[in-house]
């Protein structure tokens, strides 16, 4: 990975060299593939049924309107107007460049364990290419005396009772004792030996990801036509098969039966906000990067609603596909649905694979399920990883920061395929993108509206789209969205619970390491402030505001050229003479009308005190 960053640092730095999407649908499908990921399949259905069933949709869509859609639109607007990545975009306020550094750190940490999850999916995908699934029966070398498959459970009667509470399913032992081989590790401090089969799957996963982003948007923009659409075909097939199974409606009723009394609980609203926050991928820099490859007048307002609402509908449909099969499984085992329903890896690698063994042609359905997870995971990972090249080639600090993060990234990839690697994966999952990500998004929202200026930001959007955001977006950006995210942050701190994996409780040193990992991304913000004050000339206000870098975004190109040709009816005035412009990139004589959207009115509006 160090070699990768070194090669990327030699890429051209000018916006003209960045390239653009080659087709109209490239950007839209990239956003859909980025947002619709593994969490839609293994987190949303579980959160829905544990938080009021169908009633959970009420806070879910309210939080989507308050937080999801406005912040999504803000990130797209920043990226499209500036044509810059998540680090260089902070020319709008150099004092807060540490926000971009924190974003890259979070992305790097998440990429480490997310690719390991894809490696697990690849492992199961290859294991499904058999006539009999290896987790279908007991009797294998990795099984214990507690193993009991569903055929024996169905054969249980009054003369031979089976107490399944004291047994373990073959799929659970296959996952823990064969795939992870976790019995070879006593905890996070005992990594054990390397699992070479997982190591090869991880290598294959990274290879696929980097092949997809090798040519930038020209390659990733084409791959997305398959990776963003094919999962929907498989999801529909699984949904049709699921609802035709006996007992399917038992699971669907369990999933959707509304329990409106849950709406009085603050936990339900917090869970809805968290689901929106993480499923849309805000704060990771991906949305901003995708939009930076757009033409200047791409209708991102329309795309925002298509992607956010499409993501919500996909989550709901995935719940039908999952719980219809779980209903069938509960009927086959003779147990309530809540005893077989799980979230996260427990659903993907234990419960659903066990359900597949109960179906005719089980290897076929298992292959389809894991191929769907593979395309979902790869699409999200490819889109997330694409933020790194954009950062490295646009900013010198990005090259240094990328090289700095490479050795820890290499070490993280080496520890995850070990027998105790799952403990490290859980630690990364719990802390790498927790409160640190919330701090990054809250800071972004506050800087754009308070430091850069709401009026200036709305004028930039007007320049791109031909209209200014209405009261709904302005109210959310100014008050509702940051206040909601602040409440989420406070709630997570108050309700903090130590990490755990099954019955294993993490030691204190691991908890401290996780907390420091989360705090490190937050500390990038004050660190970036110190660097900006030491490097930039001028007062703190001048460094903090857009004055010292007033040539960000559209001003870097001439009006009437490239992507920044004005919309019909928009005729910005020439820039008035001002000493402030001496700090900007010189405007060529051939471009007398070149002007930034943030300066479409009198230049004095850029002076601190007029925000």
Please, which contacts does 125-128 make with residues 24 or more away whose CB atoms are closer than 8 Å?
Answer: 125/367, 125/370, 125/371, 125/374, 126/201, 128/363, 128/366, 128/367, 128/370
Asked whether residue 448 is marked as a ligand-binding residue, the answer is no
- Best CA proximity match to 227, nearest among 40, 384, 382: 382
Asked whether residue 197 is marked as a ligand-binding residue, the answer is no
Helix (H) or strand (E) segment spanning residue 491: helix 481-494
CA 122, CA 373: separation in Å to the nearest integer?
9
CB 255 within 8 A of CB 53: yes
CA 277, CA 63: separation in Å to the nearest integer?
9
Instruction: Please list, residue by residue across 112-126, b when 16 or more beta carbons sit within 10 angstroms of its beta carbon and e when fewer do.
Output: bbbbbbbbbbbbbbe
- Best CA proximity match to 104, nearest among 330, 337, 397, 541: 397
If DSSP codes are grouped into helix, strand and coil, which group holds residue 603?
helix
Asked whether residue 40 is marked as a ligand-binding residue, the answer is yes
CA 42, CA 220: separation in Å to the nearest integer?
25
Asked whether residue 338 is marked as a ligand-binding residue, the answer is no
CA 490, CA 418: separation in Å to the nearest integer?
35
Asked whether residue 376 is marked as a ligand-binding residue, the answer is yes
CA 610, CA 187: separation in Å to the nearest integer?
57
Beta strands 500-501; 504-505: pairing state? antiparallel
CB 199 within 8 A of CB 417: yes
Give the CA distances from residue 487 to residues 276, 280, 439, 520, in Å, rounded to whole numbers and listed in that order: 14, 19, 11, 21
Asked whether residue 36 is marked as a ligand-binding residue, the answer is yes
Residues making up the annotated binding site are 33, 36, 40, 279, 311, 376, 379-380
Residues making up the annotated binding site for Na(+) are 33, 36, 40, 279, 311, 376, 379-380
């Amino acid at each position: 990975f160090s070699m990768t960053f070194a090669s990327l640092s030699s890429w051209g730095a000018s916006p003209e060299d960045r390239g653009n999407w080659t087709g109209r649908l490239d950007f839209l499908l990239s956003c859909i593939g980025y947002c619709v990921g593994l969490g839609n399949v293994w987190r949303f259905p579980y959160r829905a049924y544990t938080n009021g069933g169908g009633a959970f949709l009420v806070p879910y869509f309210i939080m989507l309107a308050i937080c999801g859609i406005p912040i999504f639109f803000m990130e797209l607007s920043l990226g499209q107007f500036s044509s810059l990545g998540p680090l260089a975009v902070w020319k709008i306020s150099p004092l807060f460049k540490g926000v971009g550094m924190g974003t890259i750190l979070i992305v790097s940490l998440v990429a480490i364990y997310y690719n390991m999850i894809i490696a697990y999916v690849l492992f199961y995908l290859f294991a499904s290419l058999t006539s009999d699934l290896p987790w279908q029966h007991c009797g294998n070398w990795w099984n214990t005396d507690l193993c009991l498959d569903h055929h024996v459970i169905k054969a249980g009667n009054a003369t031979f009772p089976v107490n399944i509470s004291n047994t373990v399913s073959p799929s659970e032992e296959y996952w823990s004792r064969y795939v992870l081989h976790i019995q070879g590790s006593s905890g996070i401090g005992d990594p054990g030996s390397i699992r070479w089969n997982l190591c090869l799957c991880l290598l294959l996963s990274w290879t696929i990801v980097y092949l997809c982003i090798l040519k930038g948007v020209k390659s990733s923009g084409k791959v997305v036509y398959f990776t963003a659409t094919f999962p929907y075909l498989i999801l529909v097939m699984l949904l049709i098969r699921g609802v035709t199974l006996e007992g399917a409606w038992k699971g669907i009723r369990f999933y959707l039966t509304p329990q409106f009394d849950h709406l009085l609980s603050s936990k339900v609203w917090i869970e809805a906000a968290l689901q929106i926050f993480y499923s849309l991928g805000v704060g990771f820099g991906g949305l901003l990067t995708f939009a930076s490859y757009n033409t200047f007048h791409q209708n991102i307002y329309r795309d925002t609603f298509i992607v956010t609402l499409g993501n919500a509908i996909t989550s709901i449909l995935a719940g039908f596909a999952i719980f219809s099969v779980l209903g069938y499984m509960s009927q086959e085992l003779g147990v309530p649905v809540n005893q077989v329903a799980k979230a996260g890896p427990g659903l993907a690698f234990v419960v659903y694979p066990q359900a597949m063994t109960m179906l005719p042609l089980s290897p076929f359905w298992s292959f389809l399920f894991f191929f769907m997870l593979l395309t979902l995971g790869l699409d999200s990972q490819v889109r997330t990883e694409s933020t790194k090249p954009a950062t490295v080639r646009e900013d010198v600090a990005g090259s240094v920061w990328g090289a700095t993060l490479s050795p820890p990234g290499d070490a993280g990839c080496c520890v995850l395929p070990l027998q105790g690697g799952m403990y490290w994966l859980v630690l990364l999952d719990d802390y790498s993108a927790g409160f640190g990500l919330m701090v990054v998004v809250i800071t972004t929202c506050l800087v754009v509206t308070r430091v850069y200026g709401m009026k200036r930001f709305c004028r930039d959007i007007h320049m791109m789209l031909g209209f200014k955001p209405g009261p709904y977006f302005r109210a959310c950006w100014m008050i509702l969205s940051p206040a909601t995210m602040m409440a989420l942050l406070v709630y997570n701190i108050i309700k903090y619970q130590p990490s755990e994996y099954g019955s294993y409780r993490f030691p204190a040193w691991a908890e401290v390491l996780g907390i420091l990992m989360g705090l490190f991304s937050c500390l990038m913000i004050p660190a970036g402030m110190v660097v900006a004050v030491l490097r930039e000339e001028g007062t703190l206000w001048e460094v903090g505001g857009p004055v010292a870098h007033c040539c960000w975004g559209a001003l870097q190109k001439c009006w009437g050229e490239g992507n920044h040709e004005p919309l019909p009816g928009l005729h910005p005035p020439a820039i008035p003479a001002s000493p402030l412009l001496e700090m900007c990139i010189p405007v060529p004589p051939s471009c007398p009308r070149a002007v930034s959207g943030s300066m479409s009115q009198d230049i004095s509006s850029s002076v601190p005190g007029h925000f």
